[in-house]
């Protein structure tokens, strides 16, 4: 393998080189287009301070565009012929353009090169997370509207508690994913700072146009301090992973609901057949594998958080340890986005069994309503509670009456869907 840093002397032997590489080049595929894009901005910046001639800059820009096209088309394969994606870019340019290629690394290090690619990736991932969260919230809002007054039991401790509605259940996840969209946006703002031009962590003796490069790449500000640029590696990954994890938590909870409600015993929900699979030994099975795998996405993100943060107990500055943050971050990003992309259709296509849900609302579930009614009539609540407890079956009511009477804002009688719709609009 050729290295950018070859300067004679001993190279790592093959076994060591394989250990050093690990799967790093493999992961660089997910960053490669970002890296190329940042390289084009870097080239333009060098031209503005006359470190490259206009011709050199144009040639480099064109070659970088060609490389992006070849990579996208699959004719350029990023594999372990290269130490990493950064080396692949410089070697490609040098092979095609000679001296101009040998100039592209002026004023930068792979340390800031990977950082800018990671920031671009993080922003893109957060944009997807934002969009998918909003799309999920929309699907849940639509479903909440459609089934607003369909009665189902409300549970606490997995025990039937009070009458509730499908609308309330669906609106819960709508609001959850609105929070996730807001969270994604806030993290995007936090990470929207350009590290390119900080070199190996100490800047360079060149008047780099960092502000212009940041602007060209769509960043809203420059990440000022070069050492902080390095120290932010891993930290930025953890900020991204935290946003992904919040949505993954909601996904896990929704998957749990579906897993439970689609048992034969509950029987509230039927999953569309195309979201299920069969058994290799039991001819009678249809299994909710999709829902179960949606439930595991949080585990991927949580594992990534620990993997990243465990590698980060280090003094300031770049260390090769930081390479260990790349795999888990990219793996978890992909897992979370792939899973979220399935949510809207899943929500839309759930089949409900209103009769099963209604039948599960047994008469004791009206007890709390009755105690509160007594309280409204002036009986101290704690006394009302005890009096109702003595005769749990005593009240006659219907699910519809109970749902309609539950008028505290957000409850079944007043779901607050318009507030949630307004917030969704504001978040777009």
Q: Which residues are catalytic?
A: 157, 279
> Does residue 344 belong to the site contacting a copy of itself (CB under 8 A)?
no
> Between residue 187 and residue 246, which ones bind a copy of itself under the rule CB under 8 A?
187, 189-190, 197-208, 210-211, 222-228, 230-232, 234-235, 238-239, 242, 245-246
Q: Is 13 in the site for a copy of itself (CB under 8 A)?
A: yes
Residue 221: its H or E element = strand 221-222
Number of residues that bind a copy of itself (CB under 8 A): 194
Q: Which residues of 386-409 are buried (b: 16+ CB within 10 A; e: fewer)?
A: eebeeeeeebebebeebbeebeee
Residues 306-335 that bind a copy of itself (CB under 8 A): 306-321, 323-324, 328, 335
390 binds a copy of itself (CB under 8 A): yes
Alpha carbon separation from 137 to 175, 241, 247, 266, 427 (Å, rounded): 7, 20, 11, 25, 11
Q: Which stretch binds a copy of itself (CB under 8 A): 28-36, 57-65, 117-125, 176-184?
A: 176-184
Which of 108, 119, 123, 130 is close enough to bind a copy of itself by CB under 8 A?
Answer: 108
CB of 98 to a copy of itself, least distance (A): 8
Which span (32-40, 66-74, 124-132, 250-258) binds a copy of itself, by CB under 8 A? 250-258
Map residue 162 onto helix, strand or coil. strand
| Phi, psi angles (nearest 5°) of residue 154 | -95, 140
Q: Is 176 in the site for a copy of itself (CB under 8 A)?
A: yes
Using the contact rule CB under 8 A, the part of the chain among 30-38, 61-69, 70-78, 158-166 near a copy of itself is 158-166
Find the part of the chain contacting a copy of itself (CB under 8 A) among 36-44, 67-75, 116-124, 174-182.
174-182
Instruction: Identify the residue among 73, 75, 274, 428 touching a copy of itself (CB under 8 A).
Output: 274
Angstrom distance (rounded) from CA 121 to CA 30: 8
- Residue from 179, 352, 353, 358 in contact with a copy of itself (CB under 8 A): 179
How many whole angstroms separate alpha carbon 392 and alpha carbon 162? 12
Asked if 75 interacts with a copy of itself (CB under 8 A), we say: no
What phi and psi, each to the nearest 5 degrees, are found at residue 378? 105, -10
Taking CB under 8 A as the binding criterion, the range among 65-73, 119-127, 129-137, 272-280 that sits at the site for a copy of itself is 272-280
Rounded to a whole number of angstroms, the minimum distance from the CB of residue 104 to a copy of itself is 8
Q: Which of 160, 215, 352, 400 binds a copy of itself (CB under 8 A)?
A: 160
**What is d(CA 337, CA 98) in angstroms, rounded to the nearest whole number?**
40
Which residue in the set 186, 220, 354, 355 belongs to the binding site for a copy of itself (CB under 8 A)? 186
- State the angle between helix axes of 326-340 and 235-261 in degrees (0 to 180), rounded to the nearest 10: 40
* Nearest Cα residue to 175 out of 420, 419, 408: 420
Q: Does 421 bind a copy of itself (CB under 8 A)?
A: no
Window 116 to 145, contacts with a copy of itself (CB under 8 A): none
The rounded distance, in Å, linking the Cα atoms of 357 and 368 is 19
Residue 26, judged by CB atoms within 10 A of its CB (0-12, 13-18, 19+), counts as middle
State the minimum distance, in angstroms, from the CB of residue 74 to a copy of itself: 17
**Contact pick of 257, 269, 336, 344 for a copy of itself (by CB under 8 A):** 257
Nearby residues of 59 by Cβ (< 8 Å), 6 or more positions away: 97, 100
Q: What is the number of residues in the chain?
A: 428
């Amino acid at each position: 393998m050729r290295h950018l840093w070859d300067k004679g002397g001993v190279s790592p032997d093959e076994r060591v080189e394989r250990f050093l590489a690990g799967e790093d080049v493999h992961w660089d595929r997910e960053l490669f287009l970002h890296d190329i894009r940042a390289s084009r901005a870097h080239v333009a910046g060098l031209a503005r301070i006359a470190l490259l001639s206009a011709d050199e800059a144009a040639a480099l820009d064109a070659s970088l565009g060609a490389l992006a096209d070849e990579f996208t088309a699959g004719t350029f394969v990023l594999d372990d012929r290269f130490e990493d994606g950064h080396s692949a870019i410089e070697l490609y340019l040098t092979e095609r353009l000679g001296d101009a290629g040998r100039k592209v690394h002026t004023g930068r290090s792979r340390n800031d090169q990977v950082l800018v690619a990671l920031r671009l990736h993080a922003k893109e991932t957060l944009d997807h997370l934002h969009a998918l969260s909003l799309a999920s919230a929309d699907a849940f809002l639509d479903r909440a509207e459609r089934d607003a007054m369909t009665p189902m039991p409300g549970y606490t401790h997995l025990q039937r508690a009070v009458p509730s509605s499908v609308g309330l259940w669906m609106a819960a996840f709508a609001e959850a994913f609105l929070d996730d969209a807001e969270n994604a946006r806030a993290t995007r703002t936090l990470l929207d700072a350009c590290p390119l031009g900080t070199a190996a962590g100490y800047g360079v003796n060149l008047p780099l146009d960092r502000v212009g490069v940041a602007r060209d790449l769509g960043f809203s500000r420059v990440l000022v301090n070069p050492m902080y640029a390095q120290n932010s590696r891993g930290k930025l990954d953890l900020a991204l992973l935290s946003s992904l994890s919040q949505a993954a938590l909601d996904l896990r909870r929704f998957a749990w609901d579906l897993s439970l409600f689609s048992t034969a015993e509950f029987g509230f929900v039927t999953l569309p057949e195309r979201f299920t699979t069969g058994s290799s030994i039991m001819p009678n099975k249809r299994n909710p594998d999709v829902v179960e795998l949606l439930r595991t996405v949080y585990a991927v993100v949580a594992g990534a958080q620990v993997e990243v943060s465990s590698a980060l107990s280090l003094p300031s500055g770049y260390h090769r340890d930081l390479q260990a943050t790349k795999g888990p971050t990219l793996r978890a990003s992909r897992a979370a986005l792939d899973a979220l992309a399935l949510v809207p259709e899943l929500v839309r296509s759930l089949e409900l069994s209103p009769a099963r849900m209604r039948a599960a609302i047994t008469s004791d579930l009206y007890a709390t309503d009755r105690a509160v009614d007594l309280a409204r009539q002036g009986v101290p609540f704690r006394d009302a509670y005890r009096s109702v407890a003595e005769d749990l079956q005593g009240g006659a009511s219907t699910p519809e009456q109970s749902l309609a009477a539950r008028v505290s804002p957000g409850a079944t009688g007043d779901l607050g869907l318009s507030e949630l719709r307004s917030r969704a609009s504001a978040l777009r």
